[in-house]
Structure 1
Amino acid sequence: MTDSSTGPNHPETAFTWGHPAIETAFATAADGTLRLVRLGPSSDTADPEAALPLVELTAFGHGSGWSGPRFTGTAFGARLAYRGHRRDSRGGWERLTVELHDPATGLTAFVELSSPAGVAVLRSRVRLRNDGTEPVVVQSVSSLLLGGLPSPDALDVHRARNDWLAECRWYTEPLRDTVADISVDVHQHDSRAALALTGRGSWPSDGHLPMGALTERGGQGDLGRAWVWQVESPAGWRWDLGERAHGTYLAVNGPTDAEHQWRVRLAPGEESTTVPAALALGAGLDEALAALTSYRRAVRRPHPDHVTLPVVFNDYMNTLMGDPTTEKLLPLIDAAAEAGAEYFCVDSGWYDDSVDGGWWDGVGEWLPSPRRFPDGGIQAVLDRIRERGMVPGLWLEPEVVGVRSPVAAALPPEAFFQRDGVRLSEQGRHQLDLRHPAARAHLDKTVDRLVGDWGVGYLKLDYNIVVDPGTSAPGDLSPGAGLLGHAHAFLDWLSDVLDRHPRLVIENCASGGMRMDGATLAVAQLQSTSDQQDPLRYPPIAAAAPTAVPPEQGAVWAYPQPDHDDDLITFTLGGALLGRIHLSGHLDRMTERQLRLVRDAVDTYKSIRGDLARAVPFWPLGLPGWTDEWPALGLRVPGGPSYLSVWRRGGDSEVTLPVRHLADRGGPVRTEILHPSAVRAESAAVWDPATGELRVSLPRTPGVLLIRLTPEARAEA
């Protein structure tokens, strides 16, 4: 279905679009620009003057209307005139494209909005086309704009620190702490202040997750409205919040010239498209994050792994640590198979033939080490994995080439990142530019050998350097544009690999969770959540990981060791049961009793994983803090049970967890402790139907329980 209006800036232009889960309305402001005035219930319609134009962008010769840190109030934003719109419904998605045009330059903007049916999430991106006669150099362009939100006085802002070994650490502050009240009515002018967050370089989630959230205080009951957004950029990104017309605005961008050295020159007839942004709505943070989880499932590439959730054993973490050999691997393979693993991944080091382990700056050929695998080569190890009923996997760092590698001299200079004609190096490595056909051919040959010839069914793709701001290859106007171009080419290459090898499973890793962005998660099947080696530090990461990645994609380490006591073994295993369990540890050195604890946990995981693939998360104690003594994560299966992982790292031996969706339903709830399978008599999980709360007792630290909550039918009167 299509409908449109023609001609410049019609004051009467107004229309609605959406579906029952997310309704939008558009209206024209006094300056003639079309604006999004409603996103949600009809009672939330904003004054067009408080809303924002559909697009804000800056370009050489066309800057902002004022000075400050905001990317709003631009000259182009006020000039882009409405020319029409079209909508369609296909593939379970509702789509709307709004066409805007600037007569002065001939620049046309297509605002492309979409939403999966039944999901309260709006996806937005902007495509620019130069229909003029002169080039336009674009310095920034919005992906998503939303104005007319409640006053900063009523809002809390949520951000997530995301550092190596300490991922997904959400924190909250009142928006007014940054955006001060300047007495707007006195000055007859909005504040120029903004709360801005920026991600840089080739690790898009280094420092912060490319996300943010607002929650409204004092809403219905104790749950106000919530808005959660993500920037789907595999490179640079930015968002900012500020005050406008006594309300709040949100502006989401990909990379910009000011912060990422990103700019593009559009010659007549040329196009450029922003990275997408997605905005989820809900009554409270849990509901909005549940909607975002459903959206992430709808937008990603389909793959059998998302349904089957096989158990992966990886030899690295707290085990071989990059030093695999045939002698070390064979007993581990046997033990992993006995424990119930279905995939076995040989991590880093399998290609290292040096005596001193100095492979870091020599990688790139990805050939197996004869020294490490003397009898039958690595193929004998892969065969043993298959003989034990598991799928073999290998670690690979495809985008880097060591400065000592023969590949560094074999490939043309243009196949690598460069600045001013000089090849870049970082930590003894060069960075491939996947836009160059020689770089892509090198990786295609590598992967087709590993997967096609060797029969590898799992690739852990790591990335352990950061390149900032990017590359200036021939044809690049700026290094930030070069970086984004490579990042998109890398994802295109991944998609092509999966087209050729549709059963291959790819794990995305960048020193743990440093590349945990929506663009990459839409292609890769799994996401490493952390490199954290301390089992006592992992629970807040595991509990908060579903804010960034669907549970079935979030790889959580479980690394029991023979020198652990039973409590610590069950603790590290239990922390991974509501994600994608990634086993490691010296299982080959365990006693039969210890190995039975591992098998019990794996069996429990296999019994519930079908539910995890369609469950949405909730946090009965709120998003976890880094030092919380009682982190907790829940998964709610639509029309089915709920699961709770509850960790105790200290504090009192009992905690009470409100479970709102079960309390609202009312009636009896059956509780089952699934892990550990042999529960101490003092451990308990008791449902209180009067309060809708779960009382959990754990007598010892560290301790963990996995609990299933199943609503039961009310007894007939």
Structure 2
Amino acid sequence: MLSEVFALRAGGTAFIVEVGHPVPRVLHWGADPGPGWDDDLRLTAAPAVLNNSPDVPRVLSVWPTERDGWSGTPAQSGNAAGFGTTPRPELAARSIDVPDDGVGGRIEFRFVDRVSALRSAVVYELDRFGVLAVTMSVVRDLGLNPGAAPYTVDGLLALLPVPERAVELLDFTGKWCRERAPQRAPFGFGTHLRATRRGKPGHDSPYLLVAGTASFGFGHGEVWAAHLAWSGEQRYLAERLPEGAGTFAAVLGAGESLRSGEVILADGERYEAPPVLFVWSDAGTDGVADRLHRRLRARPSHPRTPRPLVLNTWEAVYFDHDLDRLTRLAERAAAVGVERIVLDDGWFHRRRDADAGLGDWFVDSDVWPAGLDPFVKVVRSHGMQFGLWFEPEMVNLDSELARAHPDWILGPAAGLGPSARGQYVLDIARPAAYDYLLERISDLVRTHEIDYLKWDHNRDLLEAVSGERPSVRRQTVALYRLLDELRARHPALEIESCSGGGGRVDLGILDRTDRVWASDCNDPVERVRIERWTRVLVPPELVGSHLGADRAHTTSRTTDLSFRLVASLTAHAGIEQDLTLTSDADLATIAAWSALYREVRPLLHTGRVVNADVADDATALYGTVAQDGSRALFTWLRFQTSAAGQSGRVRFPGLDRASRYRVTIREELGAASRHQGHDPEWVARATRGPVELSGAVLAGTGVPLPTLNPQQAMLIDIERIP
């Protein structure tokens, strides 16, 4: 087969492969070198033949295996009862589909592997925003090797190369109420592997694996990133070998983390790996965020209506469901401008605490003798939408469901392990359990014309076996099917993905839901950090950000109302605190915040997210800039004290240096407390009215910002002068 070069190009990014026998090889992924250089890439695609190495140049193919001289983690791992462990895919077919305008496109390669008795495929799709989606699949075909045993798939990994200048790694860890905590490390030799075994991505999910040039930041540096769009168990990998990867230095990749024996293919059966999204940017992690946000916003299913201001009842009433109390709460919510109320945990059968009732999705007649209708009518009478909390994938042993169907509980036949948060996991891949959930939830949605479901998932999946077979993948596929069916039955229904807060935040779940709950932590000091990194992947309109009580439910930290309000004004805003205990003065301030949210949400929910690379980690400057550059809203915030007495000149990213702007300090939510005698002169003037400044100063040289006291924040509203 004569070699050919296939290329996909979009948004300054290019993916280029050479198609040859037996397996195509990757020539380039990253900045678009421009058309016309394909022959040069092909000419320079072969590295040196090293001492003590294979006698032919190593190749990084689209399906890396040991046959290519690749000694790193292979794209495919598995066996047929101990045999067929050295895959030898041979190219059988290839196709390329590029739109008429030449932007983006799709490349597919199909292979035949007689050693493994598999037909396999890898598909690359580059969207117009420069995001490259990679999907892989294998199908068992005993016609290729009659008599072979069933094939156990141990994993498929989508791997792409990165160059030698990618010398640092960024990924994430965390725990409940401290999700998406960044961690950085040198990209050294060996394997950087992050795998989850929680039945979901988890609060410590790697989330996004980024390789970049030295000291890359929010707005600078060249970066290569990977995200697995999957809500089950995950595997992220960055690998550098002394001999490199073909002409590249290292690889970056991801795939589903499969448990031993979870996928065993008989003749004709297929395994399709979840998609991996690869993103290149020469503008740091904000550049990655911009590409991903534009991709998500272009989806037909992306929310188009203004994201309503939400009140969720959990931190206001907990399990104390009383119609009179909830009515007073709803009336106060309406008075401050709330547009949607979500009735949280405690409404269903015998649910007076966390140890009973999960699985019994019937309204508790002892607490709600007339059903939910009286409260729903109160909510509707004030023009608000109604939402309801569920945790469908979990079950308490103290429930009618568990007593009637103990076999529906996911776990080994030898006996259940310990509960977590007083609950176990329902085997939703079991048809009868699936049908029960679908009909109960659908009936409640239909009966009460529910607008919104808060869908929770509070515990990890331990010993997740059904019929003694590993079942995490089956659970995840069943969850997707359940969400898809509910959306098909109720097209107007919106669903929030909550998993003990931020334990299931990924682009697989967001293909089927309309929002994620970033964390159960409403402490604004913690929340700002969590949401700042959540927004690298998820656009603000899909991230719930709520006002909590002055003393945080999860940390007991006390903060000013103004700080909590400003911190909750960067995403899809809401309220958790009990407004019936709030003073009239604070209610007036919350009403002003509600009005400000409605004013700025068209900007927040369509604009480009930016973060300043500041020298002092005790401070943060972040904002949203309109796509046309006409307006921006920034937050200047201090977490704690630091050695520096003042900030010096801080640059506002995302603004046009050739434009002029009107800059206003917005203080209707309260003035931030200062740790200084007087503001910089321009700030003092901007608190009284708009100040005109050039983009060259704001974005280029920077401006001095006030030294705030810890746990204080300032809103800076910027409009371009026509």
TM-based fold match above 0.5: yes
Paired with 2:132 and 2:86, the residues of 1 have a C-alpha distance of 21
Paired with 2:719 and 2:545, the residues of 1 have a C-alpha distance of 25
Partner residue of 2:272?
273
1:229 aligns with 2:241: no
- Cα 1:500–1:673 change in 2 (3 A) is farther
- Cα 1:24–1:542 change in 2 (3 A) is closer
- What is the DSSP-based 3-state SS (H/G/I as helix, E as strand, rest coil) of the residue aligned with 1:370? coil
Task: String of CA shifts for 1:231-279, please: whole Å, max 9, x gaps.
Answer: 112111112112243443334343345xx33542222222110011001
- Cα 1:701–1:676 change in 2 (3 A) is farther
Kindly provide the amino acid, as one letter, of the partner of residue 384 in structure 1.
V
Partner residue of 2:54?
none
- What is the DSSP-based 3-state SS (H/G/I as helix, E as strand, rest coil) of the residue aligned with 1:572? helix
- Cα 1:335–1:346 change in 2 (3 A) is same
Asked if the contact 1:561–1:586 (Cα under 8 Å) also holds between the matched residues in 2, the reply is no
- What is the DSSP-based 3-state SS (H/G/I as helix, E as strand, rest coil) of the residue aligned with 1:518? coil
Paired with 2:345 and 2:118, the residues of 1 have a C-alpha distance of 49
How far residue 467 of structure 1 moved from its aligned partner, in angstroms, is 0.8
Partner residue of 2:163?
150
- What is the DSSP-based 3-state SS (H/G/I as helix, E as strand, rest coil) of the residue aligned with 2:574? strand
Asked if the contact 1:22–1:122 (Cα under 8 Å) also holds between the matched residues in 2, the reply is no
Partner residue of 1:188?
none
Structure 1 runs not aligned, ≥5 long: 1-9, 180-192
How far residue 399 of structure 1 moved from its aligned partner, in angstroms, is 0.8
- Cα 1:65–1:140 change in 2 (3 A) is farther
1:82 aligns with 2:75: no
Residue 133 of structure 2, aligned match among 105, 123, 142: 123
Q: How many residues align?
A: 662
How far residue 128 of structure 1 moved from its aligned partner, in angstroms, is 0.9
How far residue 169 of structure 1 moved from its aligned partner, in angstroms, is 1.4
How far residue 430 of structure 1 moved from its aligned partner, in angstroms, is 3.4
Asked if the contact 1:65–1:73 (Cα under 8 Å) also holds between the matched residues in 2, the reply is no
Residue 585 of structure 2, aligned match among 593, 610, 620: 593
Asked if the contact 1:633–1:646 (Cα under 8 Å) also holds between the matched residues in 2, the reply is yes
Task: String of CA shifts for 1:651-692, please: whole Å, max 9, x gaps.
Answer: 3675443234326x3332222334545547956567563334
Residue 40 of structure 1, aligned match among 30, 37, 40: 30
Partner residue of 2:323?
326
Paired with 2:324 and 2:67, the residues of 1 have a C-alpha distance of 64
Task: String of CA shifts for 1:104-161, please: whole Å, max 9, x gaps.
Answer: 34311111111222x11100010111233334423333342112x222x751100112
The 5 Å alignment of 1:415-494 reads: 415-420=408-413, 426-427=419-420, 428-468=422-462, 470-473=464-467, 478-479=469-470, 482-494=471-483
Partner residue of 2:719?
710
- Cα 1:668–1:208 change in 2 (3 A) is same
Paired with 2:111 and 2:426, the residues of 1 have a C-alpha distance of 38
> Identity across aligned pairs (percent)?
20
Paired with 2:484 and 2:521, the residues of 1 have a C-alpha distance of 29
Paired with 1:41 and 1:549, the residues of 2 have a C-alpha distance of 23
Residue 409 of structure 1, aligned match among 403, 406, 413: 403
Residue 360 of structure 2, aligned match among 336, 357, 365: 365
Alignment RMSD, CA only? 3.4
How far residue 420 of structure 1 moved from its aligned partner, in angstroms, is 4.5
Residue 141 of structure 1, aligned match among 132, 150, 155: 155
Residue 95 of structure 1, aligned match among 106, 129, 137: 106
Q: Larger deviation: 194-203 or 694-703?
A: 694-703
Paired with 1:76 and 1:242, the residues of 2 have a C-alpha distance of 21
Asked if the contact 2:565–2:669 (Cα under 8 Å) also holds between the matched residues in 1, the reply is no
Asked if the contact 1:293–1:549 (Cα under 8 Å) also holds between the matched residues in 2, the reply is yes
- What is the DSSP-based 3-state SS (H/G/I as helix, E as strand, rest coil) of the residue aligned with 1:443? helix
Asked if the contact 2:562–2:669 (Cα under 8 Å) also holds between the matched residues in 1, the reply is no
Asked if the contact 1:17–1:25 (Cα under 8 Å) also holds between the matched residues in 2, the reply is yes
How far residue 51 of structure 1 moved from its aligned partner, in angstroms, is 5.3
- What is the DSSP-based 3-state SS (H/G/I as helix, E as strand, rest coil) of the residue aligned with 2:427? coil
- What is the DSSP-based 3-state SS (H/G/I as helix, E as strand, rest coil) of the residue aligned with 1:392? strand
Paired with 1:66 and 1:86, the residues of 2 have a C-alpha distance of 25
- Cα 1:140–1:562 change in 2 (3 A) is closer
Paired with 2:67 and 2:460, the residues of 1 have a C-alpha distance of 31
Asked if the contact 1:135–1:266 (Cα under 8 Å) also holds between the matched residues in 2, the reply is no
1:553 aligns with 2:542: yes
How far residue 164 of structure 1 moved from its aligned partner, in angstroms, is 0.7
Partner residue of 1:22?
13
Paired with 2:4 and 2:280, the residues of 1 have a C-alpha distance of 26
Partner residue of 2:205?
208
Partner residue of 2:51?
none
How far residue 294 of structure 1 moved from its aligned partner, in angstroms, is 1.9
Paired with 2:405 and 2:558, the residues of 1 have a C-alpha distance of 52
Task: String of CA shifts for 1:323-373, please: whole Å, max 9, x gaps.
Answer: 33213211111111111111001111122546xx34424321122233433
The 5 Å alignment of 1:144-223 reads: 144-147=158-161, 149-151=162-164, 154-176=166-188, 179=189, 193-217=190-214, 223=220
- What is the DSSP-based 3-state SS (H/G/I as helix, E as strand, rest coil) of the residue aligned with 2:45? coil
- Cα 1:161–1:490 change in 2 (3 A) is same
How far residue 694 of structure 1 moved from its aligned partner, in angstroms, is 4.3
Asked if the contact 1:140–1:255 (Cα under 8 Å) also holds between the matched residues in 2, the reply is no
Partner residue of 2:635?
645
Asked if the contact 1:645–1:704 (Cα under 8 Å) also holds between the matched residues in 2, the reply is yes
Asked if the contact 2:76–2:157 (Cα under 8 Å) also holds between the matched residues in 1, the reply is no
Asked if the contact 1:162–1:208 (Cα under 8 Å) also holds between the matched residues in 2, the reply is yes
Task: String of CA shifts for 1:601-638, please: whole Å, max 9, x gaps.
Answer: 1111111212222223221136x99xx42133222221
- What is the DSSP-based 3-state SS (H/G/I as helix, E as strand, rest coil) of the residue aligned with 1:639? coil
Partner residue of 2:255?
254
Partner residue of 1:316?
314
- What is the DSSP-based 3-state SS (H/G/I as helix, E as strand, rest coil) of the residue aligned with 2:606? coil
- Cα 1:93–1:675 change in 2 (3 A) is farther
How far residue 93 of structure 1 moved from its aligned partner, in angstroms, is 6.7
1:339 aligns with 2:336: yes
- Cα 1:368–1:73 change in 2 (3 A) is closer
How far residue 438 of structure 1 moved from its aligned partner, in angstroms, is 1.1
Task: String of CA shifts for 1:417-457, please: whole Å, max 9, x gaps.
Answer: 23347567633433222222211211122212221012221
Paired with 2:174 and 2:557, the residues of 1 have a C-alpha distance of 31
Asked if the contact 2:8–2:104 (Cα under 8 Å) also holds between the matched residues in 1, the reply is no
How far residue 66 of structure 1 moved from its aligned partner, in angstroms, is 8.8
Normalising by structure 2, what TM-score?
Answer: 0.83
Asked if the contact 2:603–2:624 (Cα under 8 Å) also holds between the matched residues in 1, the reply is no
Task: String of CA shifts for 1:352-400, please: whole Å, max 9, x gaps.
Answer: 546xx344243211222334335x4432111111111111111110111
Paired with 2:139 and 2:433, the residues of 1 have a C-alpha distance of 30
Q: Larger deviation: 240-249 or 599-608?
A: 240-249
Partner residue of 2:650?
657
Asked if the contact 1:366–1:446 (Cα under 8 Å) also holds between the matched residues in 2, the reply is yes
Partner residue of 2:121?
110
Asked if the contact 2:86–2:116 (Cα under 8 Å) also holds between the matched residues in 1, the reply is no
Asked if the contact 1:604–1:674 (Cα under 8 Å) also holds between the matched residues in 2, the reply is no
- Cα 1:253–1:64 change in 2 (3 A) is farther
How far residue 472 of structure 1 moved from its aligned partner, in angstroms, is 3.3
- Cα 1:396–1:263 change in 2 (3 A) is closer
Paired with 1:603 and 1:12, the residues of 2 have a C-alpha distance of 62
- Cα 1:483–1:515 change in 2 (3 A) is same
Paired with 1:584 and 1:551, the residues of 2 have a C-alpha distance of 18
- What is the DSSP-based 3-state SS (H/G/I as helix, E as strand, rest coil) of the residue aligned with 1:661? coil
Asked if the contact 1:14–1:25 (Cα under 8 Å) also holds between the matched residues in 2, the reply is yes
